[in-house]
Amino acid sequence: MAIVRRRRGGQIQTCVYSRVTFPPQRKYNVPVTVTLLRNGLLNITLLDQQLAKMLYTDPRPNLLNYVAALVRESLTCEPPVATQAQFAYSIEMLDQLANSGKANEERVFPISK
C-alpha cells in the first residue's frame, strides 16, 4: 500500500493505492480512471506498479480487460494522459500472461509492438 499526498489549491488530497482502490469487477471503470489520471489525482507510476502486482498475483479476465482498456485509452485519448513507458510494468505483465497462455493475446495487447 502506498499513500500519495499532493497539494492542490491549498488542499491536501490523499489517494491510497491498494486492492481497496480496485474492488470487484463492477468497480473497474476506465473513463473514471482516465479522468483521475488526467487531473493528476492518481499517480500513474504507482498505479502502473499496483496494476502489475495485481496481474501477477491474480490475473482474472476482468482485470486483464480493465488494464488493457486503461492502457489503450490512456495512450490514444486526445491528448494522451500517459506514455507507453509509464505503463511499462503493466504492459510487461500483459506480455508475460499472453506468452504463458493465461490471456487472449488479441484481447489483452493494447498497443502494437
Residue 84 CA to residue 15 CA, distance in Å, equals 23
Q: State percent of the chain over pLDDT 90.
A: 49
Q: Angle of helix 61-76 relative to helix 88-99, nearest 10 degrees?
A: 130
**String of DSSP letters for 24-59:** SGGG--HHHHHHHHHTT-S-HHHHHHHHHHHHHH--
Q: Tell me the pTM.
A: 0.73
Kindly report, residue by residue over 2-42, the tens digit of the pLDDT. Answer: 444 555 544 444 444 444 444 555 678 899 999 999 999 89
